[in-house]
Amino acid sequence: MSLKLHELTNDEGFKAINAVAHEAYGNPFNGVWELTKGTSPEEACARQLAWHKIQPGSHWVYVTDESTGEVIGGTRYIIYETNPYAVEQPPRKASWLPEGPLRQVGDHLLASLGKHRPVLMNKPHILISLCFVHSAHRKRGAANLMLEWGARKADELGLESFVESTDMARRTYEKQGFYVIGEFNLDAQEENPSKEFIAERERLECPIHGFIMKRDPRDARDVKSTQ
């Protein structure tokens, strides 16, 4: 069964991509996605599509199984043509969630996730914001197809690429030339936290470990290989 790569060009195609994201990030459980998915699949779909539209340089690619037409994976790239941190940004917050302990935990986690970006990603680059494959279709090459799109784009533009990877996805990124430049453990801590705060923190499986990974563009790799 062959796979086909597509670029998202209309709103109608995004609903199926979002549905796969919900399945993929639930198998295995992903605490960051648990925040991102919001209050319902419909709300998450509308919000993610809105984020895509207002973010300059945002690109969604996805893979279908040609025998069924089914969407089986998706990846969101953000191409930053200038330093996105030239002007200091306020801490990210889970503003789409209703007030309560989950939002409190979410605000801590998102602020923690953003700490290394102004230090490591302070020039033009490509960020892999999301990358997922339906659990029933893993190890078929869908992730490689989507990552190859980004690698080609990065080489064409001469840009470094970054991704914040889960433990499970690390090897997949390494196959595309990414390498680890750091690690993180996302957590939420407060003085005298409520029982509800503690319960949400535990439900999200904090601390959430991951790798900060980087890929050099082709020209930079060629220079390194001759040194």
Which pLDDT score is estimated for 114?
85
> How confident is the model over 77-102, as a mean pLDDT?
96
Which pLDDT score is estimated for 200?
98
Residues 11-22: tens digit of each pLDDT:
999 999 999 999
Question: What DSSP string runs through 182-223?
Answer: EEEEE----SS--HHHHHHHHHTTSSEEEEEEEE--HHHHHH
Which pLDDT score is estimated for 117?
96
Coil, helix or strand for 154?
helix
Band of pLDDT at residue 63, cut at 50, 70 and 90: very high
Within 10 A of 204 (CB to CB), how many other CB atoms are there? 23
Question: Is the predicted pLDDT of residue 221 greater than 70, yes or no?
Answer: no
Question: Is the predicted pLDDT of residue 194 greater than 70, yes or no?
Answer: yes
Give the chain's mean pLDDT: 95
Which pLDDT score is estimated for 48?
97
Band of pLDDT at residue 220, cut at 50, 70 and 90: low
Residues 38-60: tens digit of each pLDDT:
999 999 999 999 999 999 999 99
Type and span of the H or E element at 146: helix 142-157
Which pLDDT score is estimated for 35?
94
Sort strands 160-165 and 179-186 into parallel, antiparallel or unpaired. unpaired
Band of pLDDT at residue 222, cut at 50, 70 and 90: low
Residues 120, 136: Cα–Cα separation, whole Å: 35
The label of the residue with tokens 């990358």 reads 131
Q: 107-142 burial, b if ≥16 CB within 10 A, otherwise e?
A: bbbbbbbeebbeebbeebbbbbbbbbbbeebbebeb
Fold (topology level) of 3-226:
Aminopeptidase (3.40.630)
> How confident is the model over 92-117, as a mean pLDDT?
95
Type and span of the H or E element at 131: strand 125-133
Whether the CB-CB separation of 21 and 130 falls below 8 Å is answered with: yes
Whether the CB-CB separation of 20 and 132 falls below 8 Å is answered with: yes
Backbone angles phi, psi at 131, to 5 degrees: -155, 125
Q: Rounded to two decimals, what is the model's pTM?
A: 0.94
CA 3 from chain center: how many Å?
A: 22
Whether the CB-CB separation of 102 and 31 falls below 8 Å is answered with: no
Domain residue ranges of the chain, discontinuous segments joined by +: 3-226
Question: Is the predicted pLDDT of residue 223 greater than 70, yes or no?
Answer: no
